[in-house]
Amino acid sequence: MYAIQGAPPPNSVDDMPGVDILVVLALVSLLAGTLIGTIGIGGILLIPALAFFAQLTTRVAMATALFSFIFTGLFGTYLYQSRRSIDWRITIPVCSGAFGFSYFGALVNSMANTSALNLIFSAIIIFAGAFTLRPFRGHGGFVFESKNAMHVLMLLLVGATVGFMSGLTGTGGPVLSVPMMIIIGFPPLTAIATSQVIQIAAAVSGTIGNVANGAVDFGIASWVTVLELAGVMVGVRIAHSAKTHQLRRLVAILCLLIGFVLFFRDSGLMERI
């Protein structure tokens, strides 16, 4: 279980997580998968859980979580496609941008102190959540035209931003892509369905960089991923039974919570309290 590359093994049996700790980690994994399936966002909850309960370094926790998102993305894509909820005209440009830049984000993660960048990232998430929470009427005001070069370029830029930040922070992409697409005017279900595919593009590209740097714990990832997949199955059913305004509210609230947690963590305010 602790054949961890990029992090020292525990010094003794006493350093190993107890059964109760592993149960909590299992529940968090299940919750993360459910949120991924419901609103695309939720994988970010897995990172601190892996760091705290599995005793992984932050960098290894990010890389291990990102690796698991390859499979939640594949499964989520299958389930959403089976319900014909994925618009591939929109999804392909976004994923192309994400795949191209996630690798560079992972490289920066391996070389730089990411605290300052994470603060910027948390501020973006807070802004996106607050903007998404604003009063809204209708089902999305943006009508995508695949023959419009500016529309395609916009989606490529969204994907590039999402991919880079995914590789940098190990978030998997949807935590930024979903609110960004909703802000642009896409219906929440379209944004969430697209985010399932983004997970694949961003996670594969970012994991290539992380594996090259020996930062993935495949042992922990194997069983955590299984629980995430069970959660994804539940989450997809919830997403397709919820109303548009309910999905928007869920996205906004979770973005605000995640953004503030990241901000307090990386600003050092938690240590002062």
pLDDT per residue as tens, the chain (273 positions): 334 444 444 443 345 556 678 889 999 999 999 989 998 888 778 888 898 888 888 788 888 988 999 999 999 999 999 999 999 999 999 988 887 787 787 777 677 665 776 677 777 778 778 877 776 554 446 788 888 999 999 999 999 988 887 777 656 678 788 888 988 888 889 999 999 998 887 788 778 877 877 788 999 999 999 999 999 999 999 999 988 788 888 888 888 887 887 787 767 655 555
DSSP 8-state secondary structure symbol assigned to residue 141: S
What is the torsion angle, in degrees rounded to the nearest 10, for the CA atoms of residue 115, residue 255, residue 107 and residue 28? 100
Comparing CA positions, the residue from 161, 4, 124 lying closest to residue 67 is 4
**Residue ranges covered by each domain of the chain:** 16-267
